[in-house]
Amino acid sequence: MESISQFFDISILIRVLSAVLLSFTIGLEREMTNKYAGLRTNILVCLGACIFTIISIYGFPEVAVSGNEMGTRDTARVAAQVVTGIGFIGGGTVLRHGATVLGLTTAATLWISASIGMACGAGMYQLAIIGTVFSIITLVSVRMFEKNVLVSSTKNTKRLKINISCLNEHSEKIYDYLIENYNHLSEISKKMNKNDENLTKINVILDIAGKKPIQSMYKTFQKIDGIESISIQEFNE
């Protein structure tokens, strides 16, 4: 046990584990809402930020300048680059199609995951926990506010969840059609079908007005080539 404790620094292990656990809660919320960056992405971003912060603090010891004079180290040098570097990852989750921009919330979530990881790496557990709690509250409560207050304030508006299974060669056309023709998209994702390599899954959540929106949308999508199956239902979070 003594040799193990000498090999492993318990305080560093706690920092790494706290980063994994806290980022898991944020990634779980993203995964449950079918976002591009889910559990694995948020955990890896938070864990990486934590490790870089630990390296920044402990990886560069003081060095002798002349005689007994010791040079000071800049503990923020590596950690500061995490703030800049996370922008490249976040930028990859942002989609723009004409005037429509999607994925900004997911990019912001990765940004906050990185900050929580840095807090864990610095041993600032209270700040990390507070940041995680308020991040979850913001992601969940604001979405509920948008659904129950903003959306419901518009007469005959319903939030629908659409799951489309289409042929791979038609997936781009159908994906573009959805973005171009439906302005009130809450989220949209596209990924390969694991059970059939010839099919692509497109999942959409959108707000639409009308007395019978589900029936009208089924009629609309029946005219589009390449759709193998489609399900449309009211989305209740």
Question: What three-state secondary structure class fits 70?
Answer: strand
Is 53 contained in some domain? yes
pLDDT of residue 144: 76
| Mean pLDDT value across residues 97-112 | 73
Residue 77 shares a structural domain with residue 119 = yes
pLDDT of amino acid 102: 67
**Angle (CA) 44 49 52, round 5°:** 120
* Bridging pattern class, strands 95-97 and 69-71: unpaired
Within this chain, do residues 175 and 227 fall inside the same structural domain, yes or no? Answer: yes
Neighbour count for residue 138 (Cβ, 10 Å): 14
The answer to whether residues 27 and 128 belong to one domain is: yes
Could you tell me if residue 168 is inside a domain? Answer: yes
Considering the domain architecture, whether residues 118 and 175 belong to the same structural domain is answered as no
Categorize the per-residue pLDDT at 1 as very low, low, confident or very high, splitting at 50, 70 and 90: very low
In a domain, 79, yes or no: yes
If asked whether residues 169 and 143 sit together in one domain, one would say no
pLDDT (mean) for 198-210: 85
pLDDT at 41: 83
pLDDT score for 109: 87
Q: Calculate mean pLDDT across residues 58-67.
A: 60
38 is in which domain, residue-wise? 2-147
Instruction: Using the predicted structure, report yes or no on whether residue 99 has a pLDDT greater than 60.
Output: no
Contact 109, 26 (CB under 8 A): yes
What does the angle CA 203 – CA 21 – CA 58 come to, to the nearest 5 degrees?
125
Check pLDDT > 70 for residue 22: yes
Q: Is the pTM here over 0.85, yes or no?
A: no
- Let me know whether 82 and 179 are in one domain: no
Please tell me whether residues 20 and 125 are part of one structural domain.
yes
Residue where a domain terminates, one of 83, 115, 147:
147
Residue 152 lies in a domain: no
Residues 129 and 23 in one domain: yes
Q: What is the mean pLDDT of residues 122-139?
A: 90
Last residue of a domain, one of 101, 126, 147: 147
Are residue 31 and residue 102 in the same domain, yes or no?
Answer: yes
- Do 161 and 98 lie in a common domain? no
Calculate the alpha carbon distances from 196 to 165, 181, 217, 231 in Å: 10, 28, 25, 18
Q: Do 101 and 131 sit in the same domain of this protein? A: yes
Listed residues 147, 170, 188: the one ending a domain? 147
Residues 74 and 136 in one domain: yes
Mean pLDDT of 134-142: 86
pLDDT for the residue 212: 77
Structural domains in the chain (count): 2
User: Looking at residue 183, which CATH number applies to its domain?
Assistant: 3.30.70.260
